[in-house]
Amino acid sequence: MADDEREQAVQAAIAGEMRLLDPEVRASPAQTLELLDSEFTEIGASGRRWDVQSILTAMSGSVSAESPVKVSELSGAVVAPGVVHVTYFADNQGRRVRRSSVWRLTERGWRMYFHQGTLAS
């Protein structure tokens, strides 16, 4: 995989990650589904395991006016052809969480396959 292809893959995954943090996207099940892999799973900062349906149910109560998440130390790396690992810190109203996501390229584009959040001090 050429360097420019790697960079494009990383940027596509990061763009998807940022869209999923957008309150308007989070409030829209259709927009959220465009970004989640059909086999998506998450281990939340609480330790709870989520799948596509449970995430959509939880996000349906989201208010588009919620405060934006502050992101820092954002980076991504291609770990295999068509697979990108994204890491960052997310700060939401003083709750700081280390985030890690695996994105994979599907026939429909880049989709989040796995996500984990771990509370950070």
CA 12 to chain centre: 12
Q: What is the mean pLDDT of residues 6-14?
A: 97
- So what's the pLDDT on residue 62? 56
Q: How far is CA 12 from CA 51, 77, 90, 96, 108, in A?
A: 22, 11, 19, 24, 13
Sketch the domain layout of the chain as residue ranges. Answer: 3-119
The pLDDT tens digits of the residues spanning 72-118 come to 999 999 999 999 999 999 998 888 999 999 999 999 999 999 999 99
Q: What is the pTM of this model?
A: 0.90
User: How far, in Å, CA of 45 to CA of 28, rounded?
Assistant: 22
CATH topology of domain 3-119: Nuclear Transport Factor 2; Chain: A, (3.10.450)
